[in-house]
Amino acid sequence: MSLAGNALEKDIWELETINLRDFGKGKHANVDDTPAGGGAGMVLRADVLAEAIDATTDEQDARPRLLMSPRGKPLTQEKVRELSRTDGIVIVCGRFEGVDERVIEARNLEEVSIGDYILSGGEPAATILLDAIVRLLPGVMGNEESGETESFENNLLEHPHYTRPAEFEGKTIPQVLTSGNHGKVDKWRHEKSVELTRTRRPDLLGDD
């Protein structure tokens, strides 16, 4: 089972899902309608979404309200860490061309993107956001330390990893890693991290 699934069973976090359809309008319980001004796709109605949000939150509810959307601010590990320290979040997602702008403003929805590409629906994006947050919750990761050295913490990509066998298709493990000298190992790993970040993600170092 997944880390997040295990943590759910251990009651470390819980998920309440709300079906927008329960707040739909008319005989067919419609939640969306055609875009004002014309064009492709359907737009999630402001009244429907507002009622769905109001049904699960009250005035004192300070939980961040996120709307999964390619227009949003790209998700970062820093943001994930910030969200992992809150008492919970409300995530809005669906399969719509768009969401009526008025409800985004009226209910203070913060648009979050998981990357510069388009999915057919917001659910996988929401799942990704949840997975990233849940693994940071206390008691979820076996080795608490592993969260600290990972890619993006310190704005660096992680160093390369090696394990047995000592030789694989003629390739050996860098000697420093088997030397038992922890100081040298740390230094080597840091250098490799910087090197890798410089080649693959110079934007993280701020010098692209």
Site for ligand SAH, rule CB under 6 A: 68-71, 93-98, 113-115, 117-119, 121-122, 125
Contacts of 133 (CB under 8 A, 6+ apart): 80, 83, 84, 89
Backbone angles phi, psi at 155, to 5 degrees: 60, 30
Element (H, E) at 89: none
CB-CB contact of 77 with 54 (8 Å): no
Provide, rounded to whole angstroms, the least separation between the CB of residue 194 and ligand SAH: 29
- 């943001």: which residue's tokens? 79
Report the residue number, 117 or 208, with the smaller CB distance to ligand SAH.
117
Report the residue number, 121 or 174, with the smaller CB distance to ligand SAH.
121
How far is residue 110 from each of residues 43, 59, 71, 155, measured CA to CA in Å?
Answer: 18, 17, 10, 24
Report the residue number, 128 or 173, with the smaller CB distance to ligand SAH.
128
Q: Report the residue number whose CB is nearest to ligand SAH.
A: 122
Provide, rounded to whole angstroms, the least separation between the CB of residue 32 and ligand SAH: 11
Report the residue number, 95 or 187, with the smaller CB distance to ligand SAH.
95
Provide, rounded to whole angstroms, the least separation between the CB of residue 52 and ligand SAH: 15
Provide, rounded to whole angstroms, the least separation between the CB of residue 69 and ligand SAH: 5
